[in-house]
Amino acid sequence: MKYKSTRGQVSGLAFSDALLMGLASDNGLLVPETIPDVSTKLEHWRGLGFVELAQEIMPLFIDDIEPTVLKSLVAESYATFDHDEVVGMQQLDNLTVLELFHGPTLAFKDVALQLLGKLFEHVLGERGERLNILGATSGDTGSAAIDGVRGQQNVDIFIMYPSGRVSPLQELQMTTVADDNVHCIELDGSFDDCQNIMKTVFADADYKAKYQLGAVNSVNWARVLAQIVYYGYASLRSDGATRFCVPTGNFGNVFAAYLAQRMGFPIAHLLIATNDNDILARFFATGSYARGEVHQTLSPAMDIQVASNFERFLYYYFDQDSQRLTQFMQDFATNGEASIGAPPEEALLSSVAVDRQQTLQSMRDVHQRFGYILDPHTAVGYFAAQQWLQQAGADAASSYVVVGTAHPAKFPEAVVEATGTEPTHPTLAALSGLPKRSQPLPGDIDAVKTYLVETLAAK
């Protein structure tokens, strides 16, 4: 399997090269040159556990790591999860919550970033190289990425997060990690500012090469690959084709589901749930992809108005026409808006925006009816799925699987407001009183570049 860029100037990369490149050198995103068809394997795979299924899927995309080594790396990645099957499935009447928060930082990002950390460690060790990771987080990616690579000798990680716009516990999960290779940057700005700085730094090819920069954000193909597995796993445990409702801001999570469907997994519909930051909902309603003001909400990991993974979907929507895709992205970068002219003719994907009161209502209703606590991101998905089923009426023959993205204990303020109950988790309770380490910086590209250089020089 080889990899190419959505923008057409990079192709023929082996997986390990794609892993270390992160963002493509032409500023596009890396995708596989072909998408494997697994439809003939589904019956055999139906009885596999999560780790076993991952060990079947990964070699289809990774052929430059020895198979037994890859199998071992996959098993090691999920050994620390506190659920026997890595992910859980909780039935709530006509909806099922796919619990992806049983990893070490209690968020769905762990499913990908524990594997990514193992892959980095193996590939860098084999090559005798090192990597400096620069990432941006709206909440969960930062702590999950840090946990995946903390203590590694050949990796330093720099994570930017928007000051005052992640939950206090999310910030503690990042800033209380004491390992010398971990560096947190508290940026004055929004997540979109963090993400823009990251992409601009990566676009400086000389700087990227000189300081051996790599990416852990969902621009890194390996993140998407790992997420394909849980969509395949859940779809094979449902009767008939599965409908997924995915709360998302950056489009990476739902793009993995989109690829799983293209591979042949039985997936009938993907409902994209956004909060008040509704750039994706507006696109699927109008065909216009237009930047808006970033709103602070109860679901901060989705407080995004530029979905970095959306480019990968557009690439396939444009029939892999890199020229058309590049023009669209250039128009968006220049004008803050680009359009395909009309709502997309895309039966597989739909989108719904959910506001603050609807989020709280879902959390309250689920707690009262089932004694089950949703985090505010999952609640966005739950409300969107319920609303969609009510509108579909008798045509909704099958229910939705709502992607549960985080443990509710990460967002105690929102949970208390909705339910009057304060959720707890021993992993989070252990953070209380620990010293914090972070570097405040202005929302300035040069300030971030200078901090990175000075920090590495001092090591």
**Distance between CA atoms of residues 443 and 98, nearest Å:** 36
The dihedrals phi and psi of 127, each to the nearest 5 degrees, come to -90, -10
* CA nearest neighbour of 294 among 284, 279, 311: 279
* First-residue to last-residue Cα distance in the chain: 37
Structure tokens, 154? 């050949």
- Tell me which DSSP letter residue 301 carries: G
**C-beta separation of 409 from 425 below 8 A:** yes
Given the structure tokens 């009447």, which residue do they identify?
Answer: 93
E strand segments, 178-293: 182-188, 213-214, 242-247, 267-274, 288-290
Q: Are strands 400-404 and 242-247 parallel, antiparallel or unpaired?
A: parallel
Q: Is 199 a catalytic residue?
A: no
Indicate which residue of 4, 71, 109, 410 is catalytic: 109
- Tell me which DSSP letter residue 33 carries: S
Structure tokens, 360? 């709280």
**Distance between CA atoms of residues 76 and 360, nearest Å:** 37
- Taken in order 160, 357, 103, 388, the sign of the CA dihedral is negative
Helix (H) or strand (E) holding 88: strand 88-92
Q: What's the chain's Rg over C-alpha atoms?
A: 21
What count of other Cβ atoms lies within 10 Å of the Cβ of residue 142?
A: 32
* CA nearest neighbour of 137 among 104, 85, 99, 186: 186
What are the catalytic residues? 109
